[in-house]
């Protein structure tokens, strides 16, 4: 396998499937199947999942809610998604651990780097919930931060589109896809891959990012086997 240890970033919105909000059990089961394929090949897997399907702090702030309060609500939403994904993975026979940046001992371990790494070494899938534990930071930033901390080989960002384009392919039919692009070129072209804090953190730590379509079955396995899927952002 090309990668020994990965950090998989999933969006909360992806869990909605065709629904307007919440979690679609069918999507969860499909994700669990894809993750099991690489788990069975010996890949060590850490996961960060967003909470946009339940609550988004920025949206709450735009409607008059206190931004800090809204962000903490968003962190709790990621814990709910993490628990749902944990259940789906365990239904498929995988061992998991949910670690959270906020202390919720009844349902999850507190995040401890050494413990997380040990779980990964033992073949357990570690899901990181509650973002960084701080308001004003996105789950993209949490994903890169945890990826750096546990010494992941790559950040795999699963989205609805199959890579990075010159423009939004859902709005511009003439948009051209990149197979490979450097961090520098992403910044020069003003492309939206992750928020600036997350992207800069990844660049500074020389941690490559692969943006791919998580909803296409088998893509995750293909990437880990070294096939050219999605877009690779490299140093």
Residue set of the binding site for ATP = 9-12, 52, 56, 159, 165, 168
- Per the annotation, where are the binding residues for UMP? 51, 71, 132-139
Q: The tokens of 191 are what?
A: 């492309």
Q: How far apart are CA 235 and CA 233, in angstroms?
A: 7
Largest separation between any pair of C-alpha atoms in the chain? 51
Q: The tokens of 19 are what?
A: 């629904």
- Per the annotation, where are the binding residues? 9-12, 51-52, 56, 71, 132-139, 159, 165, 168
Q: How far apart are CA 190 and CA 99, in angstroms?
A: 34
Give the DSSP letter of residue 180. E
What secondary structure does DSSP assign to 133-166, as a single string?
SSTT--HHHHHHHHHHHTT-SEEEEEESSSSEES
């Amino acid at each position: 396998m090309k990668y020994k240890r990965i950090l998989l970033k999933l969006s909360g919105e992806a869990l909605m499937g065709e629904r307007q909000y919440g979690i679609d059990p069918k999507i969860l089961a499909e994700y669990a199947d894809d993750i099991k394929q690489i788990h069975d090949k010996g890949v060590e897997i850490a996961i960060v999942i967003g909470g946009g399907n339940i609550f988004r702090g920025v949206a709450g702030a735009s409607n008059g809610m206190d931004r800090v309060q809204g962000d903490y609500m968003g962190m709790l939403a990621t814990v709910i998604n993490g628990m749902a994904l944990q259940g789906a993975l365990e239904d498929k026979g995988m061992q998991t651990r949910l670690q959270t940046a906020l202390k919720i001992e009844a349902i999850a371990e507190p995040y401890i780097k050494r413990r997380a790494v040990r779980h990964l070494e033992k073949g357990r899938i570690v899901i990181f919930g509650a973002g960084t534990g701080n308001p004003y930071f996105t789950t993209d930033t949490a994903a890169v931060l945890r990826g750096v901390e546990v010494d992941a080989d790559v950040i795999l960002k699963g989205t609805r589109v199959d890579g990075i384009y010159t423009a939004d392919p859902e709005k511009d039919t003439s948009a051209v896809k990149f197979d490979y692009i450097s961090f520098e070129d992403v910044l020069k072209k003003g492309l939206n891959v992750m928020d600036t804090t997350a992207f800069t953190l990844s660049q500074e730590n020389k941690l490559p990012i692969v943006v791919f379509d998580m909803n296409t079955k088998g893509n995750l396995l293909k990437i880990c086997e070294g096939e050219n899927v999605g877009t690779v952002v490299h140093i």
